[in-house]
Amino acid sequence: MKIRSLGCLVLLVLGIVLITSPVLWRQVLVRFYQPRVYDVSAAPYRETAIVFGAAVFRGDRLSTVLRDRMDTAIELYRQGKVSELLLSGDGASIGYDEPNAMKEYALQRGVDDDDIRIDLGGRRTYDTCYRARRLFGVDEAVLVTQEFHLTRALFVCDQLGVDVVGASADRRPYRSARWHEMREIAASLKALSDVLRESEPAITTVIPPHMFEG
């Protein structure tokens, strides 16, 4: 009976560890990388701003989250905090193209075409960081996204050899903020796995800008 009770206790402890470890890992990342997160006015100079994609709707209309990322990146550019924008997202699907929609938004707001590069293969945060370093030759950057995402993005890019700081794109409260925070717990653990395994992204080449138009 005592042995059986001990076995149940061990299983209970293991269950608690498995449940809480992703939360603890997320908290470790937040504490470590939070000092690297800046407002636009305080951000140190980096040559490149990497802007992470998000949902784009019919007519190339940017979602609120993505529009705030772009407005933050454009502000960095106007203030001379960065010299170029690398716009990375899912552009490898027919009829859906985040980076080119992001580029058009930037061009309409005065960013020079020569100062914009687009990455159509950035389907995940890990893919964006991997491709920025390996395919686009970025070795230092300001990462532009909301704070719920910045911690993981900083961790991944840092571990892949990019000298990074973050610029917070939080320009309003977001209705889906709680869902994003919950998602980041599991996503941060997946990021650790990707980094440890040095996974290759699904797309490992530079995609021509208009290859998937149609």
Per-residue pLDDT tens over the stretch 94-114? 778 999 999 999 999 999 999
In a domain, 207, yes or no: no
Specify the DSSP class assigned to residue 191.
Answer: H
Mean pLDDT estimate for the chain: 86
* 203 assigned to some structural domain: no
Task: Tell which wins on pLDDT, 171 or 24.
Answer: 171
Binning pLDDT at 50, 70 and 90, where does residue 204 land? low
Lowest mean pLDDT among 58-72, 118-132, 137-151, 171-185: 171-185
Does some domain include residue 80?
Answer: yes
pLDDT band at 20 (very low <50, low <70, confident <90, very high): low
The answer to whether the beta carbons of residues 50 and 132 sit under 8 Å apart is: yes
pLDDT of amino acid 1: 40
Average pLDDT of the residues in 132-144? 97
Taking the C-alpha atoms of residue 64 and residue 55, their distance in angstroms, rounded to an integer, is 9
The whole-number pLDDT of residue 16 equals 47
Q: Is residue 173 part of a domain?
A: yes
Q: Buried b vs exposed e over 133-142: b needs ≥16 C-beta within 10 Å?
A: bebbebeebb
Q: What pLDDT score does 135 carry?
A: 94
pLDDT tops 60 at residue 9: no
For residue 206, being part of any structural domain is answered with: no
For residue 5, pLDDT beyond 70: no
The confidence score (pLDDT) of residue 209 equals 57
Crossing angle of helices 2-33 and 147-159, rounded to 10°: 90
Q: Which domain holds residue 169?
A: 2-197
Say how many domains are in the chain. 1
Q: Which CATH number covers residue 182?
A: 3.40.50.620
Please determine, for residue 91, whether its predicted confidence score (pLDDT) is greater than 90. no
Q: Is residue 44 part of a domain?
A: yes
Is 210 inside a domain boundary?
A: no
Does residue 213 belong to any structural domain of this protein? no
